Chains A and B, each alone.
Chain A
Amino acid sequence: MSNYYLYQDKKRCIGCYSCTIACKTNKNILVGPKPTDIIPVGPKLIDGVPRASYVFMPCFHCENPWCVTACPTGAMQKRPSDGIVVVATDLCVGCKSCMSACPWGTPQWNSETGKVVKCDYCLDRVNEGLSPACVTVCTTQCLHFGKAEEMTDIRRERYARTVAEL
């Protein structure tokens, strides 16, 4: 896996799509590909109240990425320094092998370039020490990004607050 961890705190997410759109504008892509997306599930009645989940789908940046193995030209790469899986656009021939290989439908077809585009945690921003576009703009700050070992988990804090005898 990559050295990074992108965590979606679903309890806070309202499925507003600012992540999806900021991602696209940062990659300068218009209609069609969505390197990150929100998939709403529900609403369903749970204990008499409607509940839904707004599931954020970035790339998982796998330890052994199916897409990298499938890519015949070496365009799909796992960056050795931090494990970010990124497509080198100049090497991509548009064969779509990565799209077939990925179990989660992460690589996206960009019909304007005839190549694949995917979530690379906004490599341009990460290289400058910034967070990915989606995390930066998130309306409710439900997306968290950082070095995996440095991140605290909101769920632990939340649980601690509920059991604290104060």
Chain B
Amino acid sequence: MKKEVYSLCYMCSVRCPIKVTVENDQVKFLEGNPHVSGMEGSICARGAAGIGLLNDYQRVQHPMIRTGPRGSGQWKKATWNEAFDFIGERMNEIIDKNGGQSVAFGERVQLTTPIAKTLMRAIGSPNHFTHDALCRGSVRTATNSLFGYTVTQLSPDYKNTNHLVLYGRNFFEAIEVKGVRNLVEGMEKGAKITYIDPRVTVTATKAHRYWMIRPGTDLALNYGLIHVILKERLYDMEYVDRWVTGLKELQSFIQPYTPDWAEKETGIPSQEITAFARELSRDKPAVIFHYGYRCASHTNEIYMRRSIGILNALMGSMETKGGYFIKKGPGEVGEKKARKLTDQKLPEVDIIRFDKVGTPDFPLPELKFGVAQMLPYAILNEDPYPIKALINHRFDTLLSIPDTTLTKKAFDKLDLIVAIEINYSDTAWYSDVILPESIYLERLDPVHQTDGLIPQMYLQVPAVQPRYDTLEGALILKQIAERLGVGEHFSYETMEDLVRWELEPTGFTLEDFEAKGFVSYTDQQIIWDRKDNIKFKTPSGKIEFVSSMMEDADIQSFPEYEPMPSPPNGQFRLVTGRCALHTHISTQNNPYLNEIVQENVLWINTEKATELHIDNGAWVEVSSKYGSGKIKTFVTDLIHPEAVFLLHGFGHQATMAARSFNKGLADSILQENISDMIGGSPALHHTFVSVKPV
């Protein structure tokens, strides 16, 4: 019997709507949901490789309890009861001795996140954190400071844009299917792309303008652009007059940052910067300066991302066709969102967080995500108090947080490490217990609420039976809660119970999703009048160049630019990124994806490689103050001489994930754990490395 199931992909965090063709409980085909505009069959390579994950015997098949030292790979298969009892016994002991706050929970934001937050609230811990800081922490803070919206509430209108400006946002390799398709349509209609990156990527090969910028100096480029735009009055005056506060302060701040100054810092000729500013002005307001995805590169990240927001504001591109639209929720049409488990009455937790977010030490990053990379410091220094247990849910903490050696040292101080995982991630491998989660094709997940021009809800539903002895994340969390004596907040028995309860206030039912996989609250796009009715959520209701949020926290809106240092002789700035075949650290062992991109290589500039007597394809040792490792080279003119590059996500150490075991080198081994202490992101491109032949 053949059937078609509409669901969501979860090979990455984008969650594209998909159609799954199933025959005799086997997935026959995966494609983009034909009912969703901008999908219509399209799916990326990782999405297509979902079948490889489903049938992979190298993923975690049973609950596992460690029998040897951590990381030794000595495990025994356990029943679910044994695994939950093991966790319950140890965690209760830890909580009795150290309090609920000694338990931390880290995850990649997912549909079960409210369930995990409920668990932590229930046991009295403030220490739920997500991967967000490692990704978009600083840019969230930046757009929040300007518009009162975080970046995920802003939606670029690629289809109608005249000009898209990308700062290392490798659009055609870090793929979001709808975005890519809309941009390709836009290009067909004449949209131009300017791409700025120290490295030539696929995106560079599709761009109309490419600048190999000196690494880390994008902020200087933007200051040069803003200088020209203000001096030559190239901005959208009507829009800026109506919506912007702090233009005068920006004008006086930007005086010294001329295009000639920017040329010295960035290496981009000043006349090209000026010409670019004029071109953008002709293209405005249908211009997108892209805020970026993984925006966690430098300690001044907050100011770099704010400069992008300032440029968008000057072009009048916010809430503009071909620019950005603010995403609207069902409240805009008088409807209700789905309920979340955290909407229940839960105990208040009035204890400082491990990362001190929300205190004067770290006032601006969002409380709901926290700052993940502070965890090793909190554990090691027992500051603000001891953390003794950690649950990682689909978050490979060891390879995500920079400085793996430091993170491992912190792990060694923990009395209990639990992984809820589908893969043998490095973190799962170093845990005490692994609780295997069913994958997206096997499980019903909580409701996926999507705000946008048309607010909608999507469901991820099971297409087939679980292949192995795995459970849904929300049921795993419920079981843990019961073992910790807080089960009363988890009043669902099955996933269906939970989803029906979530949907209750919305007026939609589970059955409403069957026909197309989603429901819409309205069929009319909700667009605000950009002349008169944009609801910016800053205290002033305007775009705040001088941010009251920052000034209130005694943080300057316009600090003086600090030059980006060049690496000392013989060293390089380590730059990392993504390719189209892998999602972060999670897909390297997928048989299909592994076949095409099996390991990472170190990109190094030809001239520099010649000086160091390094041949293309040769093994080299890369080392920083924090660690070192061996990797093969790719000697090329396609990278700036100050930088070396490697793909994130390789160098896995779990032997049971045999295809990816020991293939390539993990960037986190080399990186320093240092952060943008205002925006909240780690500075993943801060580290200098040496490279020598082996």
A residues at B contact (CB < 8 Å):
12, 14-18, 20-22, 24-26, 30-32, 42-43, 49-52, 54, 133, 136-141, 158
User: Smallest CB–CB gap between A20 and chain B, Å?
Assistant: 7
Count of B interface residues, CB-CB < 8 Å: 41
**Once the chains are docked, how many angstroms separate the CA of A12 from the CA of B181?**
9
B637, closest chain A residue (CB): A45
B160-188 toward A: CB 8 Å interface, digit per residue (1/0)? 00000000000011010100110010001
A14–B202 touching, CB < 8 Å: yes
Verify if B210 is at the interface (C-beta below 8 Å from A): yes
**Once the chains are docked, how many angstroms separate the CA of A122 from the CA of B98?**
61
Which of B42-50, B474-482, B533-541 forms part of the interface with chain A?
B42-50
Instruction: Give 14 CB contacts A-B under 8 Å.
Output: A12-B184, A18-B43, A18-B44, A21-B49, A21-B592, A22-B29, A25-B29, A25-B49, A25-B52, A31-B595, A133-B29, A137-B41, A139-B43, A141-B181
User: Smallest CB–CB gap between A108 and chain B, Å?
Assistant: 13
Chain A hits for B49, CB < 8 A: 21, 25
**Once the chains are docked, how many angstroms separate the CA of A12 from the CA of B184?**
7
Q: Which of A30, A51, A52, A139 contacts B591 (CB 8 A)?
A: A30
Q: Which of A25, A50, A141 contacts B48 (CB 8 A)?
A: A25
B1-38 toward A: CB 8 Å interface, digit per residue (1/0)? 00000000000000000000000000011111000000
**Once the chains are docked, how many angstroms separate the CA of A136 from the CA of B47?**
13
A40, closest chain B residue (CB): B202
A52–B177 touching, CB < 8 Å: no
Chain A hits for B173, CB < 8 A: 14, 16
**Once the chains are docked, how many angstroms separate the CA of A43 from the CA of B181?**
22
Chain A facing B: main interface SS: mixed
Extra inter-chain contacts (17) besides given A20-B596, A49-B208, A140-B184, CB under 8 Å: A12-B184, A14-B580, A15-B202, A16-B45, A17-B580, A17-B596, A18-B43, A21-B45, A21-B593, A22-B48, A25-B30, A26-B28, A31-B591, A43-B200, A52-B205, A138-B42, A141-B42
**Once the chains are docked, how many angstroms separate the CA of A16 from the CA of B175?**
9
Chain A hits for B674, CB < 8 A: none
Verify if B657 is at the interface (C-beta below 8 Å from A): no
A49-B209, A139-B177, A158-B188 are contacts. A14–B172 as well, Cβ < 8 Å?
Answer: yes
Verify if B336 is at the interface (C-beta below 8 Å from A): no
B31–A136 touching, CB < 8 Å: yes
A24–B592 touching, CB < 8 Å: yes
**Once the chains are docked, how many angstroms separate the CA of A157 from the CA of B412?**
63
User: Smallest CB–CB gap between B484 and chain A, Å?
Assistant: 41
Q: Which of A20, A21, A50, A133 contacts B210 (CB 8 A)?
A: A50
Chain A hits for B202, CB < 8 A: 14-15, 52, 54
B181–A18 touching, CB < 8 Å: no
Verify if B109 is at the interface (C-beta below 8 Å from A): no
B residues at A contact (CB < 8 Å):
28-32, 40-45, 47-49, 51-52, 172-173, 175, 177, 180-181, 184, 188, 200, 202, 204-210, 580-581, 591-593, 595-596, 638
User: Smallest CB–CB gap between B663 and chain A, Å?
Assistant: 14
B205–A137 touching, CB < 8 Å: no
B31–A137 touching, CB < 8 Å: yes
User: Smallest CB–CB gap between A47 and chain B, Å?
Assistant: 11
**Once the chains are docked, how many angstroms separate the CA of A20 from the CA of B581?**
11
Chain A hits for B596, CB < 8 A: 17, 20-21
User: Smallest CB–CB gap between B463 and chain A, Å?
Assistant: 14
A21, closest chain B residue (CB): B48
Chain B hits for A24, CB < 8 A: 592
**Once the chains are docked, how many angstroms separate the CA of A79 from the CA of B591?**
33
A16-B175, A20-B596, A139-B43 are contacts. A42–B31 as well, Cβ < 8 Å?
Answer: no
Q: Which of A50, A54, A133 contacts B638 (CB 8 A)?
A: A50
A42–B44 touching, CB < 8 Å: no
Q: Which of B32, B44, B207, B208 contacts A16 (CB 8 A)?
A: B44
A43–B45 touching, CB < 8 Å: no
Chain A hits for B593, CB < 8 A: 21
Chain A hits for B206, CB < 8 A: 14
User: Smallest CB–CB gap between A136 and chain B, Å?
Assistant: 5
A26–B29 touching, CB < 8 Å: yes
In the complex, the 9 A-B pairs of residues with the closest C-beta atoms, listed nearest first: A52-B205, A14-B172, A21-B48, A17-B45, A22-B48, A16-B580, A18-B45, A25-B51, A50-B200
**Once the chains are docked, how many angstroms separate the CA of A18 from the CA of B41?**
11
A14, closest chain B residue (CB): B172
B27, closest chain A residue (CB): A25
B43–A137 touching, CB < 8 Å: yes
A125, closest chain B residue (CB): B29
Chain A hits for B45, CB < 8 A: 16-18, 20-21, 139
**Once the chains are docked, how many angstroms separate the CA of A165 from the CA of B205?**
29
**Once the chains are docked, how many angstroms separate the CA of A12 from the CA of B173?**
14
User: Smallest CB–CB gap between B159 and chain A, Å?
Assistant: 13
Chain A hits for B28, CB < 8 A: 26
Pick from A17, A21, A136 the residue with the most CB of B within 10 Å.
A21
User: Smallest CB–CB gap between B62 and chain A, Å?
Assistant: 23
**Once the chains are docked, how many angstroms separate the CA of A43 from the CA of B213?**
18
Q: Which of B181, B184, B205, B595 contacts A51 (CB 8 A)?
A: B205
**Once the chains are docked, how many angstroms separate the CA of A21 from the CA of B29?**
11
Chain B hits for A140, CB < 8 A: 42, 180-181, 184
User: Smallest CB–CB gap between B667 and chain A, Å?
Assistant: 22
A18–B47 touching, CB < 8 Å: yes
B50, closest chain A residue (CB): A25
User: Smallest CB–CB gap between A11 and chain B, Å?
Assistant: 9
Chain A hits for B205, CB < 8 A: 42-43, 50-52
Chain B hits for A21, CB < 8 A: 45, 48-49, 592-593, 596
A12-B184, A14-B172 are contacts. A43–B638 as well, Cβ < 8 Å?
Answer: yes
**Once the chains are docked, how many angstroms separate the CA of A12 from the CA of B188?**
9
**Once the chains are docked, how many angstroms separate the CA of A140 from the CA of B172?**
10
Chain A hits for B207, CB < 8 A: 49
Chain B hits for A31, CB < 8 A: 591, 595
**Once the chains are docked, how many angstroms separate the CA of A139 from the CA of B47?**
10
A32, closest chain B residue (CB): B595
**Once the chains are docked, how many angstroms separate the CA of A24 from the CA of B496?**
34
